[in-house]
Amino acid sequence: MNVRKLALEAIVKIIDKKAYSNIVVNEYLSKFELNSEDRALFTNIVYGTIQNLLTIDYYLEPYISKKKQKCWVKCLLYLSAYQIIYLDIPEYAIVNEAVAIANIRDRSIGSFVNAVLRNLLRNPLRSLEGLDEINYLSIKYSHPAWLVAYFLKDYDYETVEKILIENSNVKDGAIRVNTLKATKEEVMNTLTEEGIPFSDTDLVKNGLIIYNNITRNELLTSGKITVQDISSQMVAEVANPFENAKILDLCSAPGGKVAHLASIMNNTGTIFACDIYSHKIKLMEKSFARLGVKNVKTQLIDARNISNYVKEESFDYCLADAPCSGLGVLSHKVDLKYNIDLKSIEEVEYLQKEILDATCNLVKHGGYYIYSTCTINKDENEKQIAKFIQKHPEFEIVEERKILPFGYHIDGFYICKMRRN
C-alpha cells in the first residue's frame, strides 16, 4: 500500500471536504492494513502537513504558477514539501514518489510537480523578513493572521508566541486512574512491569503522563484507567463534590468528567448526564459500564431546556463544560484553526450565555456552579463569567483557574467554580 498516496487522499478530504483530521486519520488506519512503520509515517505526514499548512504554502508560493491548481495537486505539493522541510527522508525519494503519483493522473502535472519541488530544494527557504508582527507569527507558526490578532487582544506578544509554539508541538498522552476499580499505585506498578513508559504529575491526584499507545492495553479495556487530558481532570477536582450529592452535568459527552465525578463520590449520590445527541448518550453509557460507574442517569436533552422539566434549586452541583471555540486544544485538533472564524466564536459565546442564564436557578442556595471550557480567549471565559455575575449577583467566584497550553504542556483550559449565596 502506497503510504504517500493514502496520505494525499486523506489531506484532500481534510482540506477540500472540510473533514475532521482525526476522524479521517482513524478511518484510514482502520480501513487499510499498514505495518507500524507505515502507520507512523502516514499519521506524521497527514497531521504534520495540516499543522504547518500556511508555512508550507508560503515557502511554495514563489514556485507555483499563478494559474489556479487543482486541490489534489496543491495537496501533493504540500505533503511533499512537508517531508522535505520537516522530515529526515532522502529528498530524491520524496520527489520521485510525488512525480510518480502525479503521473498516474496526468504526465504534465508530473513535470510541474517535479519542477516546483526541485526549485524548493535548489533555493534557500523564503525569508520571513519584512513581514509585520502579526503576519510573521501567522506564517512562522501556521495560524491564520486574524487568529493571531485575536490572541493579541488578550495576551502580550511573548505570551502569544509561546501559545503558538505549543500548538505546533505534539503533546504526550494522559490517563486517569479510575479509583472505582484500581489504585494509582497498582496502575503504576502494572505499567512498570509491562515496560510502558510514564511519569507522575502533581497537577491532579490520579493522572499520569503516558508515552506509549495503550489502546489495546488490559488496563484500559478493563476500565482501570481511562484516557483523559490532565486539564480535563482538573474540572472534577475543582468541583470536589461530597458523597451522596445530586449533580447535573449539562453538556456531558464524551463523559470523562462525569465518570471522574462518580469516582470522587465513590458511586454515591446521583449524577444526571445530559447531551443533545443520542449516539453520544450511547457512547457514554458504554464507557460508564466499562468504568464501573453506577450512579449516573443519562438524559437526552438540550441544556437550555432543562429548566422546563426540573424544579429550581434541585442540585448541589451544576457542571457546564460549555460548547466553546476549542482554542486551547489546537495541538491535537490541527485543522480547527483553519475552520473557525470570529462569527462562530461569537455564536458560541451567545450559546454559553444562554446555558448559564437558563440553568443557574437549578443550583441550590449554598450549592455550586462549575463552568469550564477548553478555550483560552477571555471573551468565552473571564469576561463571560463577569457578565454572568453582574446579571446574577447571588453567585460569587470560589475558585478560578486558567491553564495556558505552554505552562505544563497540557491542553489550554478555563475552570470557574461559583457558589450560589
Catalytic status, residue 274: no
**pLDDT, average across residues 25-54:** 94
What average pLDDT does the structure give for the chain?
Answer: 96
Confidence of residue 374 (pLDDT cuts 50, 70, 90): very high
- What's the gap between Cα 293 and its chain centre? 25
Q: Which CATH number is associated with domain 3-122?
A: 1.10.940.10
Please tell me the predicted confidence (pLDDT) of residue 231: 96
Residue intervals of the chain classified under CATH 3.30.70.1170 are: 171-227
- How do 198-200 and 246-249 pair as beta strands? unpaired
Please tell me the predicted confidence (pLDDT) of residue 264: 98
Residue intervals of the chain classified under CATH 3.40.50.150 are: 230-420
| Active-site choice (318, 324, 374, 416) | 374
Output the pTM of the full model: 0.93
DSSP three-state, residue 230: helix
Nearest to 312 by CA among 360, 255, 260: 360
Please tell me the predicted confidence (pLDDT) of residue 281: 96
CB–CB of 231/410 below 8 Å? yes
| Backbone conformation region of residue 255, classed left if phi is above 0, alpha if psi is from -120 to 50, else beta | left
What is the Cα–Cα distance from 134 to 381, expressed in whole angstroms? 24
- What is the per-residue pLDDT across 53-104, written as a single tens digit (0 to 9) for each? 999 999 999 999 777 889 999 999 999 999 999 999 999 999 999 999 999 9
DSSP string across 22-61: HHHHHHHHHHS---HHHHHHHHHHHHHHHHTHHHHHHHHG
Residue intervals of the chain classified under CATH 1.10.940.10 are: 3-122
What is the Cα–Cα distance from 397 to 382, expressed in whole angstroms? 11
- What is the per-residue pLDDT across 316-339, written as a single tens digit (0 to 9) for each? 999 999 999 999 999 989 999 999
- The class that CATH gives domain 230-420 is alpha beta
End-to-end CA distance of the chain: give it in Å, rounded: 63
CB–CB of 116/98 below 8 Å? no
Domain 171-227 has CATH 3.30.70.1170: yes
